Amino acid sequence: MRAGVYLAVAIQEALDSVMLANDKLFVVLAVVLIIWAGIVVYIFKVDRRLVRLEKEAFPPKPPPREYPKDQPS
């Protein structure tokens, strides 16, 4: 069981050293950030479209008319 743990640690250290040595880690980070930014922009655009469609489908109700009250003479 310990051999598996040591192997996993060795693989992780080797991966870290390769990614950091060749600046690939920053490329991966940049790609992930661009993907997340795209998802966020997409969600905001869909939300704005939904709000516009909701306003068209369910227009606000006009305020109730107020009738003049009987004035005592």
The pTM of the full predicted model, rounded to 2 decimals, is 0.57
Instruction: Give the pLDDT mean for 5-13.
Output: 77
Alpha-carbon separation of residue 8 from 2, 22, 56, 62 (angstroms): 10, 21, 57, 67
Helices (H), 1-73: 2-21, 24-57
Instruction: Give the pLDDT mean for 44-53.
Output: 96
26/32 Cα distance (integer angstroms) = 10
Q: Please report the pLDDT score of residue 72 as a whole number.
A: 64
Instruction: Give the pLDDT mean for 15-41.
Output: 86
